[in-house]
Amino acid sequence: MENIRNFVIIAHIDSGKSTLADRLLEITGTVPMRSMQPQYLDRLPLERERGITIKMAPVRMNYSVNGKSYILNLIDTPGHSDFGYEVSRALMAVEGAILLIDGTKGIQAQTLSNLRSAQKAGLTIIPAVNKVDLAAPQIDKVVQSVAELLNVPEESVFRVSAKTSVGVHELLRAVVEKVPQPNSRVQVDSRGSQAHDRTPTRALIFDSLYDDHKGIIAFVRVFGGTFKAEDMKLIASGAEFKAKEVGFFSPNLVVSSVIANGEIGYIATGLKEPSLVKIGDTIITKNITQANEEKTLALAGYREPTSVVFISFYPDGATKFDDLKRAFEKLRLNDAALNFEPDANEALGRGLKVGFLGQLHFEITSDRLMREYNLEFLTSFPSIAYRVRNEGKEEIIKQPQDFPEKPEKVWEPVVALEILVPEKYLSNVVSLQTVFDIEIAEIKNLGGNLLIEALMPLRELIRDFDDRLKSVSQGYASFTYELAGEREAEVEKLEIVVVGDVVPALTRIVPKKDIEREGRQTVERLKELLPKEQFSQALQACALGRIIARETIPAMKKELGNFGKNGGDRTRKMKLWKKQQRGKKRLEGTARVELSPEVFREILKK
């Protein structure tokens, strides 16, 4: 293991992680120049289109220093806060991290978040300031601020250009020299005991994907012994299987005879049921122990990610419910932060209520469902979970329609925000307090920028906070957040009533101060979308048992005909008109309006 180095690249979004990974692949000859393309490790089409990393990407590289050969296992990680769970899993599989900082922007919010996670995991940190080729006048200042942040000499902060390869050779050499070999990383098992080389063969699953031919492919870090194509077992699920193959990432799957202690690789399980393989589970060889000892061999897994946004998905077009469910099961193999449960809608039928880590996480998942699985679907309004006390009992409410009419008390989740912004835009960012319910706790200097520490309700985050922050700071402000408990909330349930019937899919939990505006906008939009009927349609927005907004769609008018040269006999026309009115009155008593999927699609658009 002394020749193995496992490390990650962590940074804020758009700092050049993927470009740096490209240069490392070139320098080590892992990918031939004729095959090289920008963002090589970003394999999802969405990653290339958006220019961001969404999925962690492991790759094995061979590199020589002073005539000695090394195996370098790199994991390129996402930079957006919505995918922080991806980063946390990668950190468990390595011993070192390159902390990459954009030299033109300096320390940014996610830089701090990822740094704290890496330090908590006990990794060796190698700092590097990128984009020195742009000759930005603040490069020296950024290097100084990074050195102060890490409490290290400025000389230990590498100056690199991932675009031109300046300083990249030196950085890669530092990985070999500074990152410890794998046996320095102690894994803790379920009993709290340390895992050493003498322990049985076992590996930690840090990611997975589904392959039609090989079944579920588990991405693993080996923490003892060696694995080959043999009988294996998953401790958590109890599933037994004969591995089809084992190997490593180069970055494509390369079959190997074994993967050994300290290495990062994959195991093709052959299993086809997604629920059997879980991120954080431990794989062992089937013959290493007695059944009653298996649980004690489980390696410490990962904390469960906390969903913050809940959105329901309903099949549309040619898509069936079973297709949608199966696609989510396969996606969850590759995205452990996804969780879902059955849901139903009176107009849209069976669906799934899905939990996400943020708005971008939702957008990426939706795009993947459409592109990778060719599915059509509709989605509900985003919602969050509230803790509600009603009639002396407390419960967690995720579905707006389950929210009681007059709860005794309501608590909502709160996030701790860290906003990094240049001083010239401070007043613009602070002015967002009038738009979003932000409580600023402290403002302090950090590396030439100002760090704003604040609290904000989660419900405000899932509005357009990110867009507004970028707008008022001309794109220079960045932020990161984490859940920070809960507080009392002033919210109400907003219901939309169409011709006397509540439409559950349009029910939302809205702050009291916004409820009339939201109600008015919704009924006005419905009036534009719903077709006329033979009877008038009352559209109402209700809260706390009272009507706060109303619109009416008048009944269709039937042409009564032309009676005579001057419009016909008025008496006969009035008889027909009254008969028509009586018919409409009878219809109103039994009338029921069904909202079509097309109407839902339009009303649920942002």
Q: For residues 38 and 281, which has the higher predicted lDDT (pLDDT)?
A: 281
Cα distances (Å, whole numbers) of residue 258 to 206, 271, 288, 298, 446: 19, 20, 17, 21, 47
| Same-domain pairing of 68 and 198 | no
Tokens in use for 560? Answer: 């009564």
Q: What does the pLDDT look like over 348-404, one tens digit per residue?
A: 778 898 988 877 788 888 888 988 899 988 888 788 889 999 888 999 888 888 888
What's the number of CA atoms in the CB half-sphere (13 Å) around residue 224?
22
| 43 close to 57: Cβ distance less than 8 angstroms | yes
* Range 240-243 contact pairs with CB under 8 angstroms and sequence separation of 24 or more: 240/286, 241/269, 241/270, 241/271, 242/270, 243/267, 243/268, 243/269, 243/270
Residues 430 and 510 in one domain: no
Is residue 322 located within the same domain as residue 178? no
Question: Sign of the C-alpha dihedral, residues 593, 557, 548, 491?
Answer: positive
Last residue within a domain, chosen from 184, 211, 241: 184
Ranked by mean pLDDT, the top range of 189-198, 251-260, 492-501, 553-562 is 251-260
CATH number at residue 90: 3.40.50.300
CATH code for position 465: 3.30.70.240
Three-state DSSP class for residue 550: strand
Encode pLDDT of 455-492 as tens digits.
Answer: 999 888 877 788 888 888 888 888 888 888 899 998 89
Q: Domain range for residue 50?
A: 4-184
pLDDT bin (cut points 50, 70, 90) of residue 80 is confident
**Same domain, residue pair 64 and 164:** yes
271 and 356 housed in the same domain: no
297-323 pLDDT, tens digit per residue, is 788 777 777 788 888 888 887 889 999
Choose the final residue of a domain: 167, 184, 201: 184
Residue 331 parent element (H or E)? helix 321-334
The reply to whether 176 falls in a domain is yes
154 in the same domain as 282: no
Query: Which of 243, 276, 297 finishes a domain?
Result: 297
44 and 140, same domain (yes or no): yes
